[in-house]
Structure 1
Amino acid sequence: MHQSTPALRPRVLHLAQPVDGGVARVVTDLVRAQLAAGLHVSVACPRSELARRLRESGADVWHWRAGRAPGPALPAEVRGLARVVAAVRPGLVHAHSAKAGLAGRLAVRGRIPTVFQPHAWSFEAVGGATAALALRWERWATRWTARVVCVSEAERARGVRAGIRGRWSVIPNGVDLGRFAPGPTGAAGAAEAVGAIGAAGAVRAGLPQLDGIGPDAPLVVCVGRLCRQKGQDVLLTAWERVAARVPGARLVLVGDGPDGDALSARAPGSVLFAGAVADPVPWYRAADLVVLPSRWEGMALAPLEAMACARPVVVTDTGGARESLPPGAAAHCLVPPEDPGALAEALVGLLLDAPLRASLGALGHRHVKSTHDVRHTAERVAALYRELLSHQHVVPTEYREFIHS
Structure 2
Amino acid sequence: MNWDRLFRHGRQKGEKPAIGLVVTGFDKGGLEQVVYNLYLGYRRHGYDTYVLCEKPELAGWFAEQLEDLRHFRIFSANEADFFGFCLKKNIRQLHYHYNTFMMERAASLGIRCTYTIHNVYTWFNDAEMAERRECLEACHGIAAVSSFVKDYFCTRSGMPESRVEVIPNGVDFAELDITEPPPGLATRAALGLAEDDIVIAQVSSINAVKHQIGMVGVMEQLTKQNPRFKLLLAGNVIEPDYNEALLAVIEKSPAKSSIIFVPYFSHRHMGEFLRRHVDIFTLPTLQEGCSNAVLEAMYCQVPMVLTDVGNARDVRDVAACIVTPTAYGDVLKLRPQTTPEYARQKDAANQGALVAAFMQMAENLAGYRAQAGALGAEVLAGLETEAMVQRYLAMMFGPEAR
Displacement after TM superposition at 1:145 (Å)? 1.9
Indicate whether 1:261 and 2:244 are aligned.
Answer: yes
Unmatched runs of 5 consecutive residues or more in structure 2 = 1-13, 251-255, 328-349
State the match for 1:316 in structure 2: 307
Unmatched runs of 5 consecutive residues or more in structure 1 = 1-6, 66-75, 185-199, 388-401
Contact 1:151 1:298 in 2 (8 A): yes
Distance in 1 (alpha carbons) for counterparts of 2:17 and 2:73: 18
User: CA, structure 1 residues 138+35, in 2 after alignment: closer, same or farther (shift >3 Å)?
Assistant: same
**AA in 2 matched with 1:177:** F
User: CA, structure 1 residues 246+51, in 2 after alignment: closer, same or farther (shift >3 Å)?
Assistant: farther
**AA in 1 matched with 2:48:** H
TM-score (normalised: structure 1): 0.77
Secondary structure, counterpart of 2:176 in structure 1: coil
State the match for 1:108 in structure 2: 106
For residue 175 of structure 1, the aligned residue among 164, 171, 176 is 171
Displacement after TM superposition at 1:386 (Å)? 0.7
Indicate whether 1:9 and 2:26 are aligned.
Answer: no
Displacement after TM superposition at 1:24 (Å)? 0.9
State the match for 1:337 in structure 2: 326
For residue 247 of structure 1, the aligned residue among 227, 243, 247 is 227
Contact 1:311 1:360 in 2 (8 A): no
State the match for 2:283 in structure 1: 292
TM-score (normalised: structure 2): 0.77
For residue 380 of structure 1, the aligned residue among 362, 368, 391 is 391
Contact 1:175 1:373 in 2 (8 A): yes
State the match for 2:3 in structure 1: none
Secondary structure, counterpart of 2:95 in structure 1: strand
State the match for 1:396 in structure 2: none
Indicate whether 1:151 and 2:138 are aligned.
Answer: no
User: CA, structure 1 residues 205+352, in 2 after alignment: closer, same or farther (shift >3 Å)?
Assistant: farther
Distance in 2 (alpha carbons) for counterparts of 1:368 and 1:223: 22
Distance in 1 (alpha carbons) for counterparts of 2:67 and 2:183: 31
Correspondence list, 1:3-402, <5 A: 8-19=15-26, 20-45=28-53, 46=56, 47-55=59-67, 60-65=71-76, 76=77, 81-97=82-98, 100=99, 102-105=100-103, 108=106, 110-111=108-109, 112-122=111-121, 124=122, 126=123, 130-165=124-159, 167-181=163-177, 205-206=185-186, 210-255=190-235, 256-258=237-239, 259-267=242-250, 268-274=256-262, 276-279=264-267, 280-285=270-275, 286-327=277-318, 329=320, 332-338=321-327, 339-364=350-375, 368-387=379-398
Contact 1:298 1:320 in 2 (8 A): yes
Distance in 2 (alpha carbons) for counterparts of 1:182 and 1:342: 35
User: CA, structure 1 residues 95+318, in 2 after alignment: closer, same or farther (shift >3 Å)?
Assistant: same
**AA in 1 matched with 2:265:** V
Distance in 2 (alpha carbons) for counterparts of 1:311 and 1:17: 33
Distance in 2 (alpha carbons) for counterparts of 1:404 and 1:303: 29
Distance in 1 (alpha carbons) for counterparts of 2:233 and 2:31: 19
Displacement after TM superposition at 1:209 (Å)? 9.2
Secondary structure, counterpart of 1:136 in structure 2: helix
Contact 2:191 2:262 in 1 (8 A): no
Distance in 2 (alpha carbons) for counterparts of 1:404 and 1:55: 22
Contact 1:221 1:283 in 2 (8 A): no
User: CA, structure 1 residues 62+109, in 2 after alignment: closer, same or farther (shift >3 Å)?
Assistant: same
**AA in 2 matched with 1:17:** T
Distance in 2 (alpha carbons) for counterparts of 1:242 and 1:203: 30
> Percent identity over the alignment?
20
Deviations 1:345-401 (A, max 9, x none): 1112212322123123213575751421221111111111113xxxxxxxxxxxxxx
**AA in 1 matched with 2:103:** R
CA RMSD in angstroms, aligned pairs only: 3.0
Secondary structure, counterpart of 1:265 in structure 2: helix
User: CA, structure 1 residues 219+105, in 2 after alignment: closer, same or farther (shift >3 Å)?
Assistant: same
Contact 1:238 1:340 in 2 (8 A): yes
Contact 1:223 1:254 in 2 (8 A): yes
User: CA, structure 1 residues 241+171, in 2 after alignment: closer, same or farther (shift >3 Å)?
Assistant: same
Secondary structure, counterpart of 2:115 in structure 1: strand
User: CA, structure 1 residues 374+217, in 2 after alignment: closer, same or farther (shift >3 Å)?
Assistant: same
